[in-house]
Structure 1
Amino acid sequence: MFVRIVKMSFHEENIPAFLENFESVKEKIRSAPGNRFLELYQDKSNKSIFFTYSYWETEDDLENYRKSELFTAVWSFTKKLFNDKPEAWSVDKLVSLE
């Protein structure tokens, strides 16, 4: 299992549209084959910056999601709202304490 972290920065006036869209698609993203976890975070000091954390069983699962109609629709909508280039990382989780 690995974690995908995506940092997105939005024009302030576009934040409500992003949040509304995320609310409408979050269960579909979470239900994608291989997805085990999904969270959305908002930066405390810069409210225009958001992060998604998603856990995937395999890299192929993430790639299959990224090639899906769902991702295409979500990304096409979301990228129009950005005020900066998004950043993404795929990382291996080494330690988790709960």
Structure 2
Amino acid sequence: MFVRIVKMSFHEENIPKFLENFELMKEKIRNAPGNRLLELYQDKQNPEIFFTYSYWETENDLENYRNSELFYDVWQFTKKLFNEKPEAWSVDKLVSLV
């Protein structure tokens, strides 16, 4: 299992649009084959910055999602709202204490 972290920064006036669309799409994203967790975070110091954390069974599962119509729809809507280029990392989880 690995984690995909995406950092996104939005124009302030676009934040409600982003959150509304995320609310509509989050269950579909979470139910994509191979997805095990989806979380959304907002930066405490700069409320224009958001992060998504998604856990995937395999890199192939993420790639299948990234090539899906669902991802296309989500990304086409979301990318118009950015005020900076998004950043993304794929990382392996080494330790988790719950």
TM-score by length of 1: 1.00
Q: Report the Cα offset of residue 91 of structure 1.
A: 0.1
Distance between the aligned counterparts of 1:5 and 1:41, measured in 2? 11
Q: Report the Cα offset of residue 4 of structure 1.
A: 0.1
> Which residue in 2 is equivalent to 1:49?
49
**1:65 aligns to 2:65 (yes or no):** yes
Q: Which runs of 5+ in 2 are unaligned?
A: none
**1:19 aligns to 2:41 (yes or no):** no
Q: Which runs of 5+ in 1 are unaligned?
A: none
> Which residue in 2 is equivalent to 1:34?
34
Task: Report the residue type matching 1:64 in the other structure.
Answer: N
Query: Would you identify which runs of 4 or more consecutive aligned residues in structure 1 move more than 2 Å?
Result: none
Task: Report the residue type matching 1:65 in the other structure.
Answer: Y
Distance between the aligned counterparts of 2:87 and 2:22, measured in 1? 18
Task: Report the residue type matching 1:3 in the other structure.
Answer: V
Q: Number of aligned pairs? A: 98
RMSD over aligned CA atoms reads: 0.1
